[in-house]
Structure formats: C-alpha cells, structure tokens
C-alpha cells in the first residue's frame, strides 16, 4: 500500500480511499479514513490539503491518498 500527497488536486479523484483531518480534529491531527464523494477545493494545490467530502458526509482536508498495490 502506497500513499500519495493530499495537497495536490491531481492526486485525488471521486471514489479514492483517503485519510482526512476534519476541522475539529486539526489540533490532534486525528485522521478519518473514507471514500471521496466530492472534491470541494478548486485550486490545483493547497498547503493544508485538498478539501473533500467523504461518502459518509464528513468534510476535511486530505492528508494521504491511499493507493492499493497491484500485484
């Protein structure tokens, strides 16, 4: 399993498995894992991570895009 940088829009697509930090977890850095439903950031990059909405409705900034290794 590899991880891709969540600060670049080109690395994130709907349906991707990601780890996000929700606004109320920014101090602790607690990560929430889920599938991207919508991408909310329009710019090609963001220093704190691209903002997305997960399929669960949770919103946060992407810290990691989880890429499954293909064997």
Q: Give the domain range for residue 37.
A: 2-67
C-beta of residue 58 within 8 angstroms of C-beta of residue 20 = yes
Higher pLDDT residue, 63 or 5?
63
* Strands, E assignment, 1-71: 2-5, 17-21, 32-39, 51-54, 59-67
pLDDT for 47-61, tens place per residue?
Answer: 999 999 999 999 999
Q: For residue 36, what is the domain's CATH number?
A: 2.30.30
What's the whole-model pTM score? 0.90
- How many domains are there within the chain? 1
Angle (CA) 52-55-60 rounded to 5° is 30
C-beta of residue 38 within 8 angstroms of C-beta of residue 52 = yes
Please state, in angstroms and as integers, the Cα–Cα distance from residue 22 to each residue in 19, 27, 69, following that order: 10, 10, 27
């Amino acid at each position: 399993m590899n991880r891709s940088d969540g600060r670049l829009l080109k690395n994130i697509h709907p349906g991707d498995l990601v780890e996000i930090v929700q606004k109320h977890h920014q101090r602790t850095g607690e990560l929430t894992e889920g599938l991207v439903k919508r991408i909310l950031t329009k710019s090609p990059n963001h220093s704190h991570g691209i903002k997305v909405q997960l399929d669960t409705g949770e919103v946060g900034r992407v810290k990691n895009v989880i890429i499954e290794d293909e064997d």
